[in-house]
Amino acid sequence: MYDYRQFYINGQWVDPVTPNDFAVENPSTEEQIGVISLGTAADVDKAVTAARAAFASFGMSSREERIALLEKLLAAYMDRYDEMAQAISREMGAPIDFAAADQADCGRGHIQAALDALKEFQFEHKKANATIVKEPIGVCGFITPWNWPINQIACKVAPALATGCTMVLKPSEIAPLSGHVFSEMMHQAGYPAGVYNMVNGDGPGVGTALSSHPDIDMVSFTGSTRAGTLISKAAADTVKRVALELGGKSPNIIFDDIDLTDAITRGVNHCMDNVGQSCNAPTRMLVPESRYEQAVEIAAKAAEAVSVGKSDKHGKHIGPLVSRGHFDKVQGMIQAAIEEGARLVTGGPGKPEGLETGHFTKPTIFADVNNQMTIAREEVFGPVLAMIPYRDEAEAIEIANDTPYGLAAYLQTGDEERAARVARKLRAGMVRINGAAHIYTSPFGGYKQSGNGREWGEYGFEDFLETKAISR
Catalytically active residues are 245, 279
CB 285 within 8 A of CB 260: no
Q: What is the residue-wise DSSP string for 137-160?
A: --EEEEE--SSSHHHHHHHHHHHH
CB 213 within 8 A of CB 43: no
Cα–Cα distance, 330 to 26 (Å, whole number): 18
Local structure of residue 353 (DSSP, 8 states) = T
Which element (helix H / strand E) includes 218? strand 218-222
Cα–Cα distance, 207 to 389 (Å, whole number): 41
CB 301 within 8 A of CB 365: no
CB 413 within 8 A of CB 419: yes
Cα–Cα distance, 24 to 225 (Å, whole number): 25
Local structure of residue 359 (DSSP, 8 states) = S
Cα–Cα distance, 193 to 177 (Å, whole number): 22
CB 386 within 8 A of CB 375: yes
- Report angle CA 58, 64, 67 to the nearest 5 degrees: 85
CB 88 within 8 A of CB 103: yes
| Burial of 187 from C-beta contacts in 10 A (0-12 / 13-18 / 19+) | middle
Beta strands of 319-376 (E only): which ranges? 343-346, 364-367
Cα–Cα distance, 428 to 405 (Å, whole number): 8
In terms of C-beta distances under 8 Å and separation of at least 24 residues, what long-range contacts does 398-401 make, across chains too?
399/251, 399/284, 399/286, 399/371, 400/251, 400/253, 400/284, 400/286, 400/426, 401/425, 401/426, 401/427
